[in-house]
């Protein structure tokens, strides 16, 4: 999807403003001799921005407005090294709430709803984003934050909460608890708005069925406002995103070239009107695709497919993108198979094909031969590749304290 003329002039204006400042990206563009963009080609030559940049700019190097215009900061959780700090102006905060309110509306939520907010409040963008969007919409916020399941359920019952906002894992926990207590008839929930981490169909069905609610996937990341830049609609076929605030391109994470609509790759986001910390061509490392064509719901906003995984984990065999999470899902379906596995991929010159070898562990009570055939069949039907499968006894594969490298790609050596 190309930039339209409005988006192009918004990007151009941001660059012109950035190079007037002493900010991190202002300096980068100045040094690179970038003065603006007037075409798609020029835009696609702009350098990418990354989380690494934001760490280098810690704490406030990225700030692109005077101090008196900044009303708030947020920070991403940063599991390793320095966190990332994003400054917001009053307009940024308001724009974010407007986008978020639009998300709620897309999910059919109105100012008559009561929205129980279970994501965390504080430095990160979760809870406060759900809250600001709720207030903008005019609905009633029940600002719980995470945890304290007894209190959550009590408020849910007493206040007749109609909307649950949560991570998929917390929604699952609540669904299980409500099921266990047999209090489903006291719950008034109609809809759930769930953070767009990758979650299985099985989990989605369980939550939806146990709570008797429709589920919507919401997308966003701290670097680009926070959650609320896109959400799935009632057709549940991808997430509409707000192209008057952000421009999305999908790139091949290896070649870094944009791919055509419909093709899978890494989501790269450009903010169009952000003031405090504009980001151009920010690499999210999330994998998805733009869904071509109009949504059957009739909304004009373009669509992103549900997030499939992280580019850092992705591997490609016979032109098919695969993620460890998909492998885990397959192995989880087979009786007696443990969660330990590894995958070796190599290129066989003699037949000019990539060979994929899956090694999985199984309990001694099952037939290893049959188990291997089952795994092979699942790979074929669900991922369109036919691996060779070896099943070994539980405890055979190496364990380590650190995150084990499960996919060993010999093709790049």
| Residue 134 beta carbon to Zn ion: minimum distance, rounded to whole angstroms | 21
Helices (H), 164-244: 168-181, 201-211
Question: Minimum Å distance from CB 234 to Zn ion?
Answer: 7
* 281/301 with CB nearer Zn ion: 301
Nearer to Zn ion, 69 or 234 (CB): 234
Q: Which is nearer to Zn ion, 297 or 346 (CB)?
A: 297
Q: How many CA atoms lie within 13 A of 185 on its CB side?
A: 1
Q: In angstroms, what is the minimal distance from the CB of 29 to Zn ion?
A: 36
Residue (of 184, 270, 283) closest to 229 by Cα position: 270
Q: Which is nearer to Zn ion, 302 or 387 (CB)?
A: 302
Preceding amide of 59 cis, omega within 30: yes
What tokens were used for 250? 């999908």
Minimum CB separation from Zn ion for residue 232, in Å? 8
Closest distance of CB 210 from Zn ion, Å: 26
| Beta carbons of 274 and 92 less than 8 angstroms apart | yes
In terms of DSSP H, where are the helices of 46-186?
51-56, 90-106, 126-137, 149-158, 168-181
What is residue 39's three-state secondary structure? Answer: coil
CB of 297 to Zn ion, least distance (A): 3
Binding residues for Zn ion, rule: CB under 5 A, are 233, 235, 295, 297, 299
Distances (CA, A) of 84 to 53, 224, 248: 9, 12, 21
CB of 239 to Zn ion, least distance (A): 9
Closest approach, Cβ 296 to Zn ion, in A, equals 7
Give the residue with the Cβ less far from Zn ion, 238 or 278: 238
CB-based contact 300:288 (threshold 8 Å):
no
Q: Which is nearer to Zn ion, 27 or 299 (CB)?
A: 299
| DSSP string computed for 249-312 | EEE-TTT--B--TT--EEEEEEESS-SSS--SSEEEEEEE-EEPS--TT---S-EEPPP-EEGG
Tokens 């009632």 correspond to: 234
Whose Cβ is closer to Zn ion: residue 193's or residue 295's?
Answer: 295
Residue (17 or 299) nearer to Zn ion, CB: 299
The bridge status of strand 353-362 relative to strand 337-348 is: antiparallel
């Amino acid at each position: 999807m190309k930039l339209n003329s409005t988006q192009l002039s918004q990007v151009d204006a941001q660059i012109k403003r950035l190079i007037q400042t002493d900010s991190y990206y202002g300096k980068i563009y100045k040094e690179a001799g970038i003065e603006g963009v007037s075409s798609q080609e020029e835009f696609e030559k702009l350098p990418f921005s990354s989380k690494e940049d934001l760490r280098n700019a810690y704490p406030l190097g990225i700030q692109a407005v005077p101090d008196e215009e900044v009303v708030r900061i947020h920070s991403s959780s940063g599991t390793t090294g320095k966190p990332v700090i994003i400054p917001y102006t009053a307009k940024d905060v308001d724009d974010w709430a407007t986008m978020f309110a639009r998300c709620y509306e897309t999910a059919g939520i109105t100012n008559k709803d009561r929205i129980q907010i279970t994501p965390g409040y504080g430095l990160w963008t979760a809870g406060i984003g759900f809250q600001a969007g709720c207030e903008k919409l005019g609905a009633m916020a029940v600002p719980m934050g995470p945890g304290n399941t007894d209190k959550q359920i009590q408020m849910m019952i007493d206040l007749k909460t109609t909307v649950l906002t949560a991570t998929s894992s917390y929604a699952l926990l609540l669904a299980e608890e409500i099921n266990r207590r047999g209090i489903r008839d006291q719950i008034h929930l109609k809809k759930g708005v769930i953070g767009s981490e990758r979650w299985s169909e099985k989990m989605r069905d369980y939550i939806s069925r146990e709570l008797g609610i429709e589920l919507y996937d919401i997308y966003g990341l701290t670097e680009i406002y926070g959650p609320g830049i896109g959400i799935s609609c009632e057709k549940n076929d991808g997430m509409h995103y707000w192209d008057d605030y952000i421009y999305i391109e999908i790139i091949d994470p290896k070649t870094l070239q944009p791919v055509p609509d419909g093709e899978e790759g890494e989501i790269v986001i450009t903010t169009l009107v952000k003031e405090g910390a504009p980001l151009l061509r920010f690499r999210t490392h999330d994998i998805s695709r733009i869904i071509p064509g109009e949504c059957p719901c009739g909304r004009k906003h373009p669509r992103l497919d549900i997030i499939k995984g992280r580019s850092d984990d992705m591997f490609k065999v016979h032109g098919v993108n695969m993620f460890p999470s998909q492998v885990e899902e397959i192995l989880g379906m087979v009786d007696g198979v443990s969660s330990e596995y590894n995958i070796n991929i190599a290129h066989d010159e003699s037949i000019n094909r990539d060979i994929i070898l899956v090694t999985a562990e199984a309990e001694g009570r099952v037939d290893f031969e049959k188990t291997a055939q089952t795994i092979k069949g699942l790979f074929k039907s669900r991922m369109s590749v036919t691996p060779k499968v070896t099943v070994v006894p539980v405890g055979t594969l190496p364990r380590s304290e650190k995150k084990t490298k499960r996919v060993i790609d010999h093709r790049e050596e």
